[in-house]
Structure 1
Amino acid sequence: MRNVTLLEIYSHPITQKYVKRSGLAHAIATAYNALKLSIKYDVNPDLATKAAFLHDIGHYTWYKDGEWDFELYKENDIHAIKGAERAHKLLVRLGEDPRKAKQIALAVLLHTDSYLPDGQLERNNLQKVVALADELDEEPNGQHHYRQISNEKALQQIKHLDALVDAHIVEHIYRKSV
């Protein structure tokens, strides 16, 4: 049914490096939020969870005098641009359908308007789902990026998400055939 699972994405060294750096617990929570929202907005749950899980893969850590500088980050951030590129390259490398990889990358790109001069975006439903899923898990001053999760718990939740996505896809196919 799916070319690439969340488990395959999670297991890749690129994901391990960049998603862990930007907050694995946040990425997983955002993917769960996206799954719930995908039903409400009639969006493919596979695309929504993948884009939500990868939405911060482009983060760069902004430090000043050895301390995280949230204001410096806000002023110079382009993580969505870098993340869209990384997500697309990773997904294609893993064997994702190129059209789906592009949709996911665009949702990663448009999950925030922080890098735009006027901050105005027109989003499609997939892009809205990812942006809303991210907002639902945000904490003041970027603290959501620092929540911790063990590798074992993360793996368990990723496998659970994959099972939920598969179930939603099967249910969606069944509803369309009836």
Structure 2
Amino acid sequence: MRNVTLTDIFQHPSAQKYLNRSGLVHAIATAYHAFSLAKDFGVDPDLATKAALLHDIGHYTWYTNGQWDYSLYKENDIHAIKGAERAHKLLIQLGEDPRKAKEIALAILLHTDSYLPKGQLDLLPLQRVVALADEADEEPGGMHHYRSLDIKTALSRIKKLDRLVDAQYETENLKHSV
């Protein structure tokens, strides 16, 4: 049983604000990729899709002379840190289990190493799923953040993903009850 659905998250005003800022199409596509990867990595699809949906909510837009400055963004970016904090706060406000909220926040924190000193991270499976899902939808120059989608279609896609996660849980419960 899930305390909080993707639809609950999506409909929250702060999620709306930050998902639109960071790229709603990218967030939804990344959540779908995470759902697909979750089974391969033995990861809870609920945690994977939530972390993937929220992975970029910490983005800040970097502009020079009124124009998006990708190099300035890459040089100064700490969106994963801010996003982990925002996601944790949002999930707790919505009633998510605190342990799950922490796992999701940590996956968001570690979905990219762009802000870390060079080195190799040893990611846990959920963290790896979110990082791979993000990479699967990336476009050169950060253009994946600028695809657009109307709110009605976005909500429809989120609800469909909620049904897929619920169906996965039902399948797992049937396996365990036999």
Map residues 108-127 of structure 1 onto 2, 5 A cutoff. Answer: 108-127=108-127
TM-aligned CA deviation for residue 139 of structure 1: 0.2
| Structure 2 residue aligned with 1:28 | 28
Gaps of 5+ in 2: none
Alignment TM-score, normalising by the size of structure 2: 0.98
* Equivalent position amino acid for 2:21 in 1: R
CA RMSD of aligned residues (A): 0.7
Q: Is the counterpart of residue 157 in structure 1 residue 157 in structure 2?
A: yes
2:55 is aligned to 55
Corresponding residue for 1:134? 134
* Contiguous gaps of at least 5 residues in structure 1: none
Distance in 1, matches of 2:30 and 2:116, equals 22
Partner secondary structure for residue 39 of structure 1: helix
1:11-67 deviations in whole A, cap 9, x for unaligned? 001101011100000000000000000011110000000000000000000000000
Counterpart code for 1:16: Q
- Counterpart CA distance in 1 for 2:42 and 2:117 is 30
Give the whole-Å Cα distance in 2 for the aligned partners of 1:97 and 1:27: 22
Q: Give SS of 1:60's match.
A: coil
Whichever residue aligns with residue 96 of structure 1, its letter is E
Displacement after TM superposition at 1:71 (Å): 0.3
Report the number of matched residues: 178
What does 1:4-83 correspond to in 2, within 5 Å?
4-83=4-83
Sequence identity, in percent? 69
What is the CA-CA distance between 1:176 and the residue it aligns to? 2.7
- Deviations 1:44-97 (CA, angstroms, capped at 9, x unpaired): 000000000000000000000000000000000000000000000000000000
Q: Which amino acid aligns with 1:82?
A: K
